[in-house]
Chains A and B, each alone.
Chain A
Amino acid sequence: MKHTLQQVFHSGKFVTGFSIFVAILLIVIIYPLIITDPPLRIIGQGTFFEPGIYVNVYDSISSPHYTLNLDDAAAKRIASKLGEDDRIAIKDWLVAVGIPESEIDTTDTAKLLDQWVNNYDPATRISGMTNATRNYYIRLNNSLKGLLSTDGVSIAVANPETAVLEETSTIVQSDYVNVNQVANVRVLPLGTDNFGRDVLTELVEATRVSLQIGFVAGVIATLIGLTLGLLSGYVGGFVDDIIMFITNLFTVIPSFVLLILISFSIGQDRRGPVTIAIVIGFTSWVWTTRAVRSQVISLRNRDHVNLSKLSGHSLVHIIVTDIFPYIASYVVMALILQISSGILVEAGLSILGLGPRTTDVPTLGLMMNWAMIYQAHILGKWWAYFPVIVTIALIAFSMNLMNTGLDQVFNPALRD
């Protein structure tokens, strides 16, 4: 036993898969201890906030201000405001008024603005220019004027008695706050979803729930499969015929269709994650049964089983001590695959809207479903679905790696 475990942990594939899986598990366990927010609390008003660090503006004003004289601050500010389209429009104007194209560099913000200020005149009429375009240039010029100003911003508060705005402080362009001193900063590494919920927190919770669903489904499927397979293979005869009849019946009915029908008939209200897990478990035991049965049939004619019979052992004793240990490694592998397929099946069901009801807990499949319904993929809000896909892929990948690794240890013919 110890030796086998040693061998298992010498297999590179298994160790890689195991490490990924343990890492996912650790994140799922540790993350909620650090971020204690309820995973489904709606924190953002509006949908799909981009990933980033959110600093409270109000708190920034009242935080201590520091003056930093940085040369490129103004340029950066302008650069962040002046989009690529605007730069090309400016270039077009400049070319139209007769500046040689070789002298214009759209990446050099300072020079570009300089040329703009010197050459722009709203009165100039350029032939072929529509009124709309002209107005655009006027708007652009006004906004650039604001950018180029070196004045600060006044903060004024309305006096409750006189209703007159009274200036309380001025913020100049070289004022900085230390983020650490701002009372409210929220990091949203994966932004928010369509409901304004923190995607990362939600994702961690969804992973936990999905793993639970996979585990429950896998254990149920494996237990049913193992019991039926052992009975069918070892007892044989009439019992075998009946079990194989049921198994064949379940084989020819596509299990996903069955799953959809059952999920649908249970109804939205009673569809919790556990229910879904049980439903998945009860529809995916078929191939475990068949595999276990064939293994048991080849084992039951081995001499050690005959010898055990001759030693007067009972049926249960023989199944438990003489048959089961031989297929245990196989069953572990089947369990791993069942768990991984349970997670995938849940995702599939949920995308179709047949997963657990949506108000209590997230699952990986539900997150995909929400992202899909709110058209995250069309709007380019990748953070709402891409991390979910990566998580599903990582879980399935790690489990399949573990399975292949185990297979190579237990089946020497596959070793390279």
Chain B
Amino acid sequence: MSSEKKLCLSGSGVTKVFGFGRNTTLAVDHVDFNFYEGEIISIVGESGSGKTTLAKMLLGLINPTEGEIYFQGEKRDISTHRKKKEYWKSIQAIFQDPFSSYNIFNKIDTVLLDCIRMRGGGKLPYEQKVEMMTEACSFVNLKFEELTNKYPFELSGGQQQRLMIARIFLLKPKILLADEPTSMIDACSRATILDMLMQLRDEIGMTPIFITHDIGLAYYVSDSVYIMERGKFVESGSADDVILHPKEPYTRRLISDVPKIYEEWDLSTV
């Protein structure tokens, strides 16, 4: 079984240190990971655990201080702008706060046209671009005719996050890093967003990586879960193993601190 699984992203000894001299902060501390194609992965950690730093390193937005990241089994090379651009065709992201994810001076069309251009469709006739944008928007239940020439801030948070998914739909990356994609939106829009992400995964066969503090969400969506504490992975494995039968005290505490509805929520442990 494991021989069939193809590595899509892996790392060994990945470390990030911020600052110089005595004022250094070890944000990510020698983490190793193997993410396989087709799996849904969650990296769970509280604020300050280094999960966002790790995500940025995976995206190639910042360089690791130490360690190597391998993309599809080969050492990742993003030393030039051209190579970075090539890498970013394979890996894309959705960020936590939809309101700060858009350039408020650009129209929605600009956001989507950028994606088409990145996929090499910059020279296509305009009608065809509109067709592609319409398709992407209808995938996330938005109407392109209503959105064209509008600005992102005219949409609700849920709609903006759906537009982000439409963007991913156009880009069709191999890996999608979703950094807290639902933490800023209402609970009932959350279901919509997650549904769409899962649907998109089936549609374009990408590997989603969720970065989240919400252990419930991690359990709900993912196949493998990585628990991160102070820059290190303290526990990892399949979702059922990690969440239902946690071994590490930190994981246990994290899970016991989340309010439950079917089981008794034990308040005496804090």
Quick check: do A and B touch in the complex, using CB within 8 A? yes
Which residues of A pack against B, CB within 8 Å? 302-304, 306-314, 321-322, 325-326
Which listed residue (B81, B100, B104, B115) contacts A303, Cβ 8 A? B100
Q: Which of chain B's residues have a CB closer than 8 A to the CB of A322?
A: 103
B92 sits at the interface (CB 8 A): yes
Instruction: Flag if B61 contacts A306 (CB, 8 Å).
Output: yes
Chain B residue with Cβ nearest A318: B103
Chain A residue with Cβ nearest B115: A311
B126 sits at the interface (CB 8 A): no
- With A321-B103, A322-B103 as known contacts, state yes or no: A310 contacts B92, CB within 8 Å: yes
Chain B residue with Cβ nearest A304: B103
Q: What's the nearest-Cβ distance from chain A to residue B123, in Å?
A: 16
Q: Which of chain B's residues have a CB closer than 8 A to the CB of A326?
A: 104-105
Question: Told that A307-B101, A310-B92, A312-B88 touch, could you supply 18 new A-B pairs with CB distance under 8 A?
Answer: A302-B100, A303-B100, A306-B93, A306-B95, A307-B93, A307-B102, A308-B103, A309-B88, A310-B61, A310-B88, A311-B114, A311-B115, A312-B85, A312-B118, A321-B105, A321-B106, A325-B103, A326-B104
Chain B residue with Cβ nearest A315: B81
A311 to B100, CA, bound (A): 16
B97 sits at the interface (CB 8 A): yes
Instruction: Flag if A303 contacts B96 (CB, 8 Å).
Output: yes
Chain A residue with Cβ nearest B82: A312
Chain A residue with Cβ nearest B177: A310
B59 sits at the interface (CB 8 A): yes
A to B CB contacts below 8 Å, 23 in the list: A302-B100, A303-B95, A303-B96, A303-B101, A304-B103, A306-B59, A306-B61, A306-B93, A307-B95, A307-B102, A310-B59, A310-B61, A310-B88, A310-B92, A310-B93, A311-B88, A311-B114, A312-B88, A312-B118, A321-B105, A321-B106, A325-B103, A326-B105
Which listed residue (A302, A309, A313, A314) contacts B61, Cβ 8 A? A309
A302 to B97, CA, bound (A): 10
Chain B residue with Cβ nearest A323: B103
Q: What's the nearest-Cβ distance from chain A to residue B96, in Å?
A: 7
Q: Which of chain B's residues have a CB closer than 8 A to the CB of A311?
A: 88, 114-115, 118
Q: What's the nearest-Cβ distance from chain B to residue A339, in Å?
A: 25
Q: Which of chain A's residues have a CB closer than 8 A to the CB of B61?
A: 306, 309-310
A408 to B257, CA, bound (A): 44
A294 to B219, CA, bound (A): 40
Q: What's the nearest-Cβ distance from chain B to residue A292, in Å?
A: 17
Q: Which of chain B's residues have a CB closer than 8 A to the CB of A310?
A: 59, 61, 88, 92-93
B72-114 contacts to A (CB < 8 Å): 81, 84-85, 88, 92-93, 95-97, 100-106, 114
Q: Which of chain A's residues have a CB closer than 8 A to the CB of B101?
A: 303-304, 307
Q: What's the nearest-Cβ distance from chain B to residue A66, in Å?
A: 72
A128 to B184, CA, bound (A): 100
Q: What's the nearest-Cβ distance from chain A to residue B142, in Å?
A: 18
Which listed residue (A304, A314, A325) contacts B100, Cβ 8 A? A304
A322 to B103, CA, bound (A): 6
Q: Which of chain B's residues have a CB closer than 8 A to the CB of A321?
A: 103, 105-106
Chain B residue with Cβ nearest A299: B100
The 0/1 profile, CB within 8 Å of A marked 1, for residues 47-65 of chain B is 0000000001001010000
Most chain A CB atoms below 10 A, which of B59, B100, B102: B100
Q: What's the nearest-Cβ distance from chain A to residue B2, in Å?
A: 31
A326 to B105, CA, bound (A): 8
Q: What's the nearest-Cβ distance from chain B to residue A152, in Å?
A: 81
Q: What's the nearest-Cβ distance from chain B to residue A7, in Å?
A: 15
A312 to B120, CA, bound (A): 12
Q: Which of chain B's residues have a CB closer than 8 A to the CB of A309?
A: 61, 88
A326 to B106, CA, bound (A): 11
Q: What's the nearest-Cβ distance from chain B to residue A320, in Å?
A: 11
Q: What's the nearest-Cβ distance from chain A to residue B181, in Å?
A: 12
Q: What's the nearest-Cβ distance from chain B to residue A1, in Å?
A: 8
Q: Which of chain A's residues have a CB closer than 8 A to the CB of B103?
A: 304, 308, 321-322, 325
Q: Which of chain B's residues have a CB closer than 8 A to the CB of A314?
A: 81
Q: What's the nearest-Cβ distance from chain A to residue B260, in Å?
A: 32
A129 to B4, CA, bound (A): 131
A195 to B93, CA, bound (A): 73
Q: Which of chain A's residues have a CB closer than 8 A to the CB of B118?
A: 311-312
A303 to B184, CA, bound (A): 14
Instruction: Flag if A303 contacts B88 (CB, 8 Å).
Output: no
Instruction: Flag if A303 contacts B97 (CB, 8 Å).
Output: yes
A302 to B104, CA, bound (A): 12
A313 to B61, CA, bound (A): 13
Q: Which of chain A's residues have a CB closer than 8 A to the CB of B97?
A: 303
Instruction: Flag if B85 contacts A325 (CB, 8 Å).
Output: no
Kindly list the 8 A-B residue pairs having the minimum CB-CB distance in the complex, ordered from nearest.
Answer: A303-B95, A312-B85, A325-B105, A303-B101, A311-B114, A304-B103, A303-B100, A310-B88
Q: What's the nearest-Cβ distance from chain B to residue A178, in Å?
A: 65
A161 to B114, CA, bound (A): 99
Most chain B CB atoms below 10 A, which of A303, A309, A325: A303
Instruction: Flag if A304 contacts B102 (CB, 8 Å).
Output: yes
Chain B residue with Cβ nearest A302: B100
A304 to B167, CA, bound (A): 13
Q: What's the nearest-Cβ distance from chain B to residue A369, in Å?
A: 46
Q: Which of chain B's residues have a CB closer than 8 A to the CB of A303?
A: 95-97, 100-101
A308 to B110, CA, bound (A): 11
Q: What's the nearest-Cβ distance from chain A to residue B182, in Å?
A: 15
A306 to B96, CA, bound (A): 12
A19 to B38, CA, bound (A): 65
Q: What's the nearest-Cβ distance from chain B to residue A330, in Å?
A: 14
Q: Which of chain A's residues have a CB closer than 8 A to the CB of B88?
A: 309-312
The 0/1 profile, CB within 8 Å of A marked 1, for residues 23-46 of chain B is 000000000000000000000000
Q: What's the nearest-Cβ distance from chain A to residue B15, in Å?
A: 19
A73 to B97, CA, bound (A): 85
Q: What's the nearest-Cβ distance from chain A to residue B152, in Å?
A: 9
Q: What's the nearest-Cβ distance from chain A to residue B230, in Å?
A: 22
Chain B residue with Cβ nearest A1: B105
Q: Which of chain A's residues have a CB closer than 8 A to the CB of B81?
A: 314
Q: What's the nearest-Cβ distance from chain B to residue A312, in Å?
A: 4
Q: What's the nearest-Cβ distance from chain B to residue A175, in Å?
A: 75
Q: Which of chain B's residues have a CB closer than 8 A to the CB of A304?
A: 100-103
Q: Which of chain A's residues have a CB closer than 8 A to the CB of B106?
A: 321
Q: Which of chain B's residues have a CB closer than 8 A to the CB of A308?
A: 103
